[in-house]
Chain A
Amino acid sequence: MSEVKINKDSTWQELTPGGTIYDAGNSMNFKTGDWRSSKPIFLSDKCKQCGLCFPVCPDDAIPVDKDGKRCDFNFDYCKGCGVCAKVCPFGAIEMKEV
């Protein structure tokens, strides 16, 4: 593996030909959270830990701890689709415009 580190200021000489990524399993490096136009707010006092929200998240952006309890959103990957807010029976997730 020959890792190439680039960022949005990289010059054409620093990029790889054709944008080929010399690495596998690299989707974690693609932070899609900045695509978000609305943001879920986790209201932990209303949450009953029923477990309905995290299985429906298309981006696996609701972390679950070792006791099976959900934690706050991972905003590196949450695209703000709002599916979790729809399935929550207790109003513990509110969508807010950003």
Chain B
Amino acid sequence: MGIRERLSGNEASAIAMKQINPDVVAAFPITPSTEIPQYFSSFVSNGKVDTEFVAVESEHSAMSACIGAEAAGSRAMTATSSNGLAYMWEMVHIASSSRLPIVMPLVNRAISGPLNIHNDHSDAMGIRDAGWIMLFSENNQEAYDNLIMAHRIAEHKDVMLPLTVCQDGFITSHSIENIELIEDEKVKEFVGQYHPEHYLLNSKEPIAVGPMDLQAYLFEHKYAEHQAMKNAKKVILEVAKEFEKMTGRSYGLFEEYKLDDCDVAIVCMNSTAGTTKVVVDELREKGIKAGLLKLRVFRPFPQEEIAKALSKVKAVAVLDKAESLSSCGGPLFTEVTSAMYVNNLNVPTAGYIYGIGGRDTTTKDISSVYEDLLEVVKTGKINNPYRYLGVKGVKNNGI
């Protein structure tokens, strides 16, 4: 029944990749994801995997090599962070539009500049419209589990889209926590072999990948991607069910933590959910009905399910670890409120930009958000929904 270990988020991701044993890994080091390809290359050198490791000269080439390998008919992986992802942005779109189910751990770090190596979600939000399935992970266990489930989702015939598994740079990537690993043979059986229907190295069927796609066709191909993304929701849940049978660990589109009877709720992703759970417990002890919606699946965005889960809450705060610079809130806030609108739900909701560039977010900060929400419940008013948590020089959370 599982293997007890103590691993950092990066180690856990590298071990997941070892157990998946992909045909090709092409990667270029960038903080804080560097350790993933570093550990993995030692597995290659020590003969622990059969993978062809391509030490490319840039992230643009890393994704290009993965695209070539995946189109050839193999299973390809890479890992990156921040500006590395920005540098591969062009190829990130080519991967999804060519319907190549590449899997990539993304260790979230602020996009420069000014230069910063610490955690926020500005890198991930840069590819939110790129046609990738995006899973977020609270801790090392979830980063590992999401990776084990990744290929089954991405390679499903109704999906065929690339997938990225996000976790917070340094906060979880470099923190050692307890973890339960799955036995190698079980992972091998669960992940299975990749048998694409059409692939470049099939000598019986020569094909052309990524051809010219002008006015008469591109729109229809984008619509097909949209359908695939819709299909992914069902597949994600089916794979999670099977995963639960194997491990006992249950995953949905999001986790509801004391949400069903709560008055005030926070919506957030990745490690901040851990901090929020501590605050929820503290508030519950004081008799305050606080809850949390921790989003796991950001793409496809589960708009209907989120609206339903928040339908009985009296006030909601959406925490964004990325600044859209739209002057009106972060991307998660915009999408959650949009989900509410189309589902005819009008719950007072405020967005909080927080934790930019690795700014610590403490239980005290999260408590202040719940206090703001209790005030909203009392007055029934949101004075300013575009709020900031923890910026020096901005008083009262920017309300």
Q: Which of A12, A15, A21 contacts B207 (CB 8 A)?
A: A21
Q: Please, what's the 1-or-0 string for B205-219, where 1 marks a CB less than 8 Å from any CB in chain A?
A: 111111111001100
Q: Are A23 and B208 in contact (CB under 8 A)?
A: yes
Pick the contact of A21 from B99, B208, B221 — CB < 8 Å?
A: B208
- Assess the B220–A22 pair: CB atoms within 8 A: no
Count chain A CB atoms within 10 A of each CB in B97, B205, B212, B220 and give the residue with the most.
B220
Report Cα–Cα, A4/B223, bound state, in Å: 19
Q: Are A19 and B205 in contact (CB under 8 A)?
A: no
Instruction: List CB contacts (< 8 Å) of A9-34 with chain B.
Output: 10-12, 15, 17-26, 30
Interface residues of B toward A: which range? Answer: 20 to 34
Quick check: B205 and A1 within 8 Å, CB to CB?
yes
Known: A8-B216, A20-B198. A15 touches B206 (CB 8 A): no
With most chain B CB atoms within 10 A of its CB, the pick from A1, A11, A20, A26 is A20
B160 nearest CB across to chain A (Å): 6
Contact B207 A17 (CB under 8 A): no
Interface size of A in residues (CB-CB distance below 8 Å): 20
- Closest chain A residue, CB of each to CB of B220: A12
CB nearest neighbor in B for A12: B220
Answer yes or no: B275 CB below 8 A from chain A CBs. Answer: no
CB-based contact A15/B211 at 8 Å: no
Among the listed A6, A10, A11, A18, which residue makes an inter-chain contact with B98, where contact means beta carbons less than 8 Å apart?
A: A18
- Distance (whole angstroms) from the CB of A23 to the closest CB of chain B: 7
Contact A23 B206 (CB under 8 A): yes
> How near does chain A come to B96, taking the closest CB pair, in angstroms?
9
In the docked arrangement, what's the CA distance between A24 and B204, Å?
Answer: 11
- Contacts known (A2-B205, A22-B207); A30 close to B212, Cβ less than 8 A: yes
User: Measured between alpha carbons, how far is A7 from B210 in the docked complex, in Å?
Assistant: 18
Tell whether B309 is near chain A: CB-to-CB under 8 Å: no
B211 & A17 in contact (Cβ 8 Å cutoff): no
Chain A residues near B98 (CB-CB < 8 A): 18-20
B211 in contact with A24 (CB, 8 Å)? no
Question: Does the CB pair B209–A20 fall under 8 Å?
Answer: yes
Shortest distance from the beta carbon of B384 to any chain A beta carbon, whole Å: 43
Minimum C-beta distance from B200 to chain A (A): 9
Given contacts A20-B207, A23-B206, A23-B208, contact A15 B217 (CB under 8 A): yes
CA distance A20 to B160 in the complex (A): 13
Choice from B206, B212, B213, B220 contacting A11 with Cβ under 8 Å: B220
For the complex, is B246 an interface residue (Cβ under 8 Å from A)?
Answer: no
In the complex, what residues of A have CB within 8 A of residue B160's CB? Answer: 17
- Least CB distance, B76 to chain A, in whole angstroms: 15
- Contact call B223/A12, Cβ cutoff below 8 A: yes
Q: Which residue of B lies closest to A30 (CB)?
A: B212
Rounded to whole angstroms, the CA-CA distance of A6 and B207 in the bound complex is 16
Nearest chain-B residue to A6 (Cβ)?
B217
List of A residues within 8 angstroms of B217 by Cβ:
6, 8, 10, 15, 19
Complex: A50 Cα to B280 Cα, angstroms: 88
Q: How far is the CA of A94 from the CA of B328 in the complex (A)?
A: 60
Residues of B within 8 A of A8 (CB): 216-217
| In the complex, chain A residues whose CB is within 8 Å of the CB of B100 | 18
Which partner residue on chain B sits nearest A9 by CB separation? Answer: B216
Bound: A18/B212 CA distance, A: 11
- Of all chain B residues, which has the CB nearest A24? B206
Docked Cα-Cα span, A24 to B209, in Å, equals 10
Q: Name 28 A/B residue pairs within 8 A (Cβ), A-sorted.
A: A2-B205, A6-B217, A7-B216, A8-B216, A10-B217, A11-B220, A12-B223, A12-B224, A12-B227, A17-B160, A17-B224, A18-B99, A18-B100, A18-B210, A19-B98, A19-B210, A19-B217, A20-B98, A20-B99, A20-B207, A20-B208, A20-B209, A21-B207, A21-B208, A22-B207, A23-B206, A24-B206, A30-B212
> Residues of A at under 8 Å CB distance from B?
1-2, 6-8, 10-12, 15, 17-26, 30
Sort A-B residue pairs by CB-CB distance and give the 9 closest, nearest first.
A24-B206, A12-B220, A8-B216, A18-B99, A21-B208, A18-B98, A17-B99, A12-B223, A19-B213
Question: What would 7 more interface pairs be, CB under 8 Å, given A15-B217, A23-B208?
Answer: A2-B205, A12-B223, A15-B221, A15-B224, A17-B160, A19-B217, A21-B211
